[in-house]
Copies of this chain bind each other. A is one copy, B any other.
Amino acid sequence: MVERKVTSVDVARRAGVSQSAVSRTFTPGASVSVATREKVLAAAQALGYRPNMLARGLITRTTGLVGVVVGDLGNPYHPILFESLASRLQDRGKRPLLVHVPPQGTADAAVFEVLQYQIDGIILVAGSFAEATARECLAIGTPVVLVGRGIGDEGAEKLVDTVSSDNAGGARLAVEALVAAGHRRIAFIAGRRDTHSNSERHSAFLQALARHGLEPAGEEEGSYSYEGGRAAAQRLLARSPLPEALFCANDLMALGALDALRAAGLDVPGEISVVGFDDIPMAAWPAYELTTLRQDVDGIVTHAVDLLEARLSDHGRTAEQVILDVTLVKRNSARL
């Protein structure tokens, strides 16, 4: 088996034209007559020719590859976002080059690795990111879009494009609804301390409480996982008086918390309310019927790739920070 790759030169020879003609046939918008195009296409078809994107990328300086940094696909919210993102990118003719960062890991090292592939841009859905790394990406003309996260070092805002949900607004929504329904002792189950989303949700939670002259009725960290949420709820259950409501920084923890509360024989929402964040599919399952704050996944993804493309066509534009509304979906885990 001869492992001959068929190149544009082979096609050219067979079609009786120049290599340029072949290239032009496969370059949309290039100047080729229909006659030659047909000849070339026929030859290409016969030989099974496929343009070599590496060689092409070497010249055009654009590969169609987009680095996508993800992590913790165990949280159902992420695969959903990711799937949407991947197919959106594909629709726009781009290909996601994956970078998986382990739970605690930082994305910097991996980012430098994918930069070698001359990617057109980077979308960060997980992991943190040092400002220096961002600067370097921008310096070599690779746009960066952060989704659902801030840049590691604060103050470096206006540097990269950003899209995320209105975390603060969501937390406020939850607190207002709970307070309006008469809850006073409201506890918080936090996600990973080192995340942007958690700090925003957390501090907005505190502020909203304060606005009503309230203090949190407990705070525990659940690391954004089901197990973590369960354990956090259990710790909260040791307090007395018991909290009347739990606001969880994401749904997965809320589900864990719900299971812990039930195991303890508590009636939800009769004796205690639970509110989550994200609105993952499981939240709607009859076994949970979780009241939660829905993130606009579609909007997030759309804005993310829009920002990326905008940046690609105008490298000089100033970074934009998109914040998307979050909606409270009332189900049956909170007395509202």
Interface size on A, residues (CB 8 A): 58
A23 to chain B, nearest CB (A): 14
Chain B residues with CB under 8 Å of A191's CB are: none
Considering the chains assembled together, what is the distance between the CA atoms of A54 and B316 in angstroms? 26
B90 lies within 8 A of A79 (CB): no
Considering the chains assembled together, what is the distance between the CA atoms of A255 and B118 in angstroms? 44
B226 lies within 8 A of A52 (CB): no
Considering the chains assembled together, what is the distance between the CA atoms of A79 and B43 in angstroms? 41
Chain B residues with CB under 8 Å of A194's CB are: none
Interface of chain A residues 63 through 111 with chain B (CB within 8 A): 63, 65, 68, 73-74, 76, 78-80, 82-83, 86-87, 90, 95-100, 102, 110
Considering the chains assembled together, what is the distance between the CA atoms of A90 and B97 in angstroms? 12
Interface of chain A residues 260 through 314 with chain B (CB within 8 A): 262-263, 281-282, 285-288
Chain B residues with CB under 8 Å of A288's CB are: 287
A136 CB contact (under 8 Å) in B48, B116, B263: B48
Cβ of A3 within 8 Å of any chain B Cβ, yes or no, is yes
CB-based nearest B residue for A252:
B281
A48 to chain B, nearest CB (A): 7
CB-based nearest B residue for A287:
B287
Cβ of A218 within 8 Å of any chain B Cβ, yes or no, is no
Considering the chains assembled together, what is the distance between the CA atoms of A113 and B120 in angstroms? 17
A282 CB contact (under 8 Å) in B50, B68, B282, B286: B282
A87 CB contact (under 8 Å) in B79, B95, B102: B102
B285 lies within 8 A of A263 (CB): no
B285 lies within 8 A of A50 (CB): no
Cβ of A55 within 8 Å of any chain B Cβ, yes or no, is yes
Considering the chains assembled together, what is the distance between the CA atoms of A324 and B316 in angstroms? 53
Considering the chains assembled together, what is the distance between the CA atoms of A255 and B50 in angstroms? 45
A112 to chain B, nearest CB (A): 7
A52 lies within 8 A of B116 (CB): yes
Chain B residues with CB under 8 Å of A226's CB are: 281, 285
Chain B residues with CB under 8 Å of A136's CB are: 48
Chain B residues with CB under 8 Å of A152's CB are: none
3 A-B pairs with the lowest CB-CB distances in the bound complex, closest first: A79-B79, A73-B79, A73-B83
What residues of chain A have their CB less than 8 Å away from a CB belonging to chain B?
Answer: 1, 3, 5, 48, 50-55, 57-58, 63, 65, 68, 73-74, 76, 78-80, 82-83, 86-87, 90, 95-100, 102, 110, 112-118, 136, 139-141, 226, 255, 259, 262-263, 281-282, 285-288, 315-316
A-B contact pairs, 14 of them (CB 8 A): A50-B112, A54-B57, A54-B117, A74-B80, A74-B83, A76-B76, A86-B98, A90-B100, A95-B99, A95-B117, A97-B98, A255-B285, A259-B286, A262-B287
